Structure 1
Amino acid sequence: MHALTLPLPSGETWTRADYEALPEDLPARVSLIHGELVVSPRPRPIHQRIARRLATRIEDAAPDAWQVDTDVDVLLSDDEMEPVEIAPDIVVYSAEHDIYERPIPVEMVALVVEVVSPSTKRKDRRIQPTLYAEAQVRHYWRVETDQTAPAFAIYSYELDDATGAYVATGVHHERITATLPFDLEIELKAVRER
């Protein structure tokens, strides 16, 4: 087994340049949150399967003006001292963004989706939604799996312009119907079944 050696930040906190210099093939997921490097283990196969299947169905419904990807970096805040760059499980963003460039600027993002795992409950339910709302991502979905809740469900949220926080728009067990910058309807049976 090889030890993971990461470069040290150039100063007291991690900058975007430090973060962008990390190798793309790290054996763990990393995020940059308020200048701190946050390292998480790679997700379980069921997590990845649900994310992939849901992303495919969203992509099938998306018009050409939108693109859908999994596990790609989104720049939520370019603050020099406390930048925030996170890779949500699923991102729906403008087709105007060059797919050869990273990160995706938050202004181009319409929806982020997080699939909750046993080890990411607190992050996906509390920390990341706050960061997404602060960055003004209009739509947030949280997917609860049989590992994390009594039943599979997608909890959908929309940004409230008056408060700057998310408000719940539904709990979806069998089907999700939503109006993003485009309309979609997804049967969830094929997403959740093994």
Structure 2
Amino acid sequence: MTLPLPSGDTWTRADYEALPEDLPVHVSLIHGELVVSPRPRPIHQRIARRLATRLEDAAPDSWQVDTDVDVLLDDDETEPVEIAPDIVVYSAEHDPYERPIYAESVTLVAEVVSLSTKRKDRRMPSALYAGAGIRHHWRVETDRTAPASAIYTYELDDATGEYVATGVHHDRITATLPFALAIDLNAVCER
């Protein structure tokens, strides 16, 4: 499959939105550059799906949960940022037939760290999400990417505009933000 070329020197949101939805690779738009990566492995998708299901079960009606959906983090005309986190919890007011989801509608993004991209997964998305003002960020590590499966939770610090760590959860995550939940992580991360 041949990807279309951008209309100018960098990729615009219009160029990105014109890409076919059935690409055999995962694409993101980061500061006007198209970033292409392979589709995740089945275990990555399984963990994301299981965690998203548990989040959806716990979410009040004011929130909806989806996986791998585009979130517009920066609408800059020359260097837009639009990526698809593994899990997105966003306002029920957003029409699920419309894309992208605007960052101001998002309360939580979660990323499952992949073995092949673990260095990038641990650094880059966090800064982009914080810069967009997304209140909560979770990083899910598996026994293949870290010594043990865990969810690292972060909350946006209004004073610095950066995330601060709020916990490391190994067997169970119990939280009240962004809403009350209790999730058995062993059931999420088991093969």
> Shift of the alpha carbon at 1:184?
1.0
Check whether the contact 1:73–1:87 (CA below 8 A) recurs between aligned residues.
yes
Gaps of at least 5 residues in structure 1 are none
Match of 2:21 among 10, 20, 24: 24
Q: Matches of 1:81 and 1:104 in 2, distance apart?
A: 19
Q: Is the 8 A contact 1:110 1:180 kept in 2?
A: no
Report percent identity of matched pairs: 83
Q: TM-score, structure 2 length as denominator?
A: 0.98
Question: 1:8 is matched with which residue?
Answer: 5
Name 1:90's counterpart in structure 2. 87
1:175 deviation in Å?
0.7
Provide the residue aligned with 2:44 in structure 1. 47
Q: Which residue among 78, 91, 110 is the counterpart of 1:113?
A: 110
Q: Secondary structure of the residue that 1:81 maps to in structure 2?
A: coil
Match for residue 170 of structure 2 among 168, 173, 191: 173
The one of 136, 139, 143 equivalent to 2:140 is 143
Match for 1:9: what amino acid? P
Q: TM-score, normalised by structure 1?
A: 0.97
Gaps of 5+ in 2: none
Secondary structure of 2:153's aligned partner: strand
Contact 2:130–2:163 under 8 Å retained in 1: yes
Give the aligned CA root-mean-square deviation in angstroms. 0.7
- Residues 139-170 of structure 1: CA deviation (Å, up to 9, x unaligned): 00000011100100000000000111000000
Q: Which residue of 2 aligns with 1:103?
A: 100
Residue number in structure 2 paired with 1:155: 152
- Which residue among 151, 169, 182 is the counterpart of 1:185? 182
What amino acid sits opposite 1:169 in the alignment? Answer: T
1:47-77: CA deviations, max 9, x gaps? 0000000000000000111000000000000
